[in-house]
Amino acid sequence: MPKLQGFEFWSCTLGGARHVVAPMVDQSELAWRLLSRRHGAQLCYTPMLHAQVFVRDANYRKENLYCEVCPEDRPLIVQFCANDPEVFVQAALLAQDHCDAIDLNLGCPQMIAKRGHYGAFLQEEWDLLQRMIVLAHERLSVPVTCKIRVFPEIDKTVRYAQMLERAGCQLLAVHGRTKEQKGPLPGPASWEHIRAVRKAVNIPVFANGNIQCLRDVEQCIQATGVQGVMSAEGNLHNPALFEGRSPAVWELAEEYLEIVRQHPCPLSYVRAHLFKLWHHPLQVHQHLREELAKVKSLEGVSAVSRELKLRCQAGVGTAGCHACAGREALSVTRGLVLCRRTCPGRWRERSPWEACLSFTGSASPTSAQAKYAKCDQCGNPKGNRCVFNLCRGCCKKRAFRETADCPGHGLLFKTKLEKSLAWQRDQSRLQEPQQPGLGDLGPGGPGSFSEVTGSALT
């Protein structure tokens, strides 16, 4: 049977998938993929696998792919990082019988990718990438796809995408950020770049970046014309994102842990997922955060999760009321308490989040108490120094939407954008032809390079 290509591959093999879980190192393992599929994901990628290690280490293959295959986990794309055409193809040949396509990672911007010379740090080596894609396209029985990041220039990004398409790439996942946009200052992803790529190529395109809820998915598809939308960070905080729901966090945690019992994975993966799922309650119950970080078994992790569920559902009414230090406090949702008997006025007038006590397990009304105010948009505790009076999740959405900063939550969308624009202006000045008659261009002299460009080189 001939290998399907382009839109035929997307519509038939991938079932016209629109809701996609991104490849995430140590985070898109089988258990998480199955959880995401139960809640609306139509296509998943494996975590990034190292092609050279995959070729030489049978245990690595077994742990990361062969033992993780199950009928429910399809369609599936296996992603590799590589910088050698032969090694990439050898790894892909070993994996192709267990998936529906092989993806070349050209988007990882992390320092480990720079040291290993792969991911986004190959995006200037077009001859090498062309050879890798051509060879894989010729020798594999499944299609080859690519996940890329954009260049600052839209036209260069378009030419880059067209080069990969000519080489044999059958689907492009485009992360709308440059390789410099990473870490705590990522800045907004450029849907304009993604839209330009989509118009310029004749293969399916997935968009990645700025996806926090189902409405973002719909807006992205409408704005860019892509075939599907890929989520990473949004999916980690809410694996039901593609359903348009935000279930109680303990429901998702319990369901995930049950899947892990059936399909075991390293405890570090499980712990990392629970830190994301329980993000807001763990800000309140700091001692349970420390406990979750220390436990050494799946049962220990499950016990912490059950305790968090109890605190969030009802709490325990042995702690004193924050409003009046009364002993008969009424337990309320998420483990925070306010006294109905001695503080009826405050009970009626204010949300429990606005005058509440994080349960400490002590019967003493003089126990250490902490005040948590409610987010203006949801029931989570807001950041004490948030400029919008929101929790981190709501703050991130608003700060991105308005291209604003919130130092209290470490969100610097405006600052990053300004730095990016300043960098682009500097690059433009550097590329401008020198004007005749500028005199001596020696360091610091009249008409020197720093004087002409208006910038200091460092």
Catalytic residue list: 108
What are the distances in angstroms from CA 217 to CA 43, 198, 234? 15, 16, 11
429: left (phi over 0), alpha (psi -120 to 50) or beta: alpha
C-alpha to C-alpha distance for 345 and 349, rounded to whole angstroms: 6
Q: Is 79 helix (H, G, I), strand (E, B) or coil?
A: strand
Q: Which amino acid is at 250?
A: W
Rounded distance, CA 71 to CA 125, Å? 38
The token duo for 79 is 């992603």
Could you give the CA distance from residue 45 to residue 380 in angstroms, rounded to a whole number? 31
Q: Tell me how far apart the alpha carbons of residues 233 and 393 are, in angstroms, rounded to a whole number.
A: 11
Pairing state of beta strands 411-412 and 405-406? antiparallel
| DSSP string over 203-229 | S-EEEESS--SHHHHHHHHHHH--SEE
According to DSSP, the residues that pair with 357 across neighbouring strands are 337
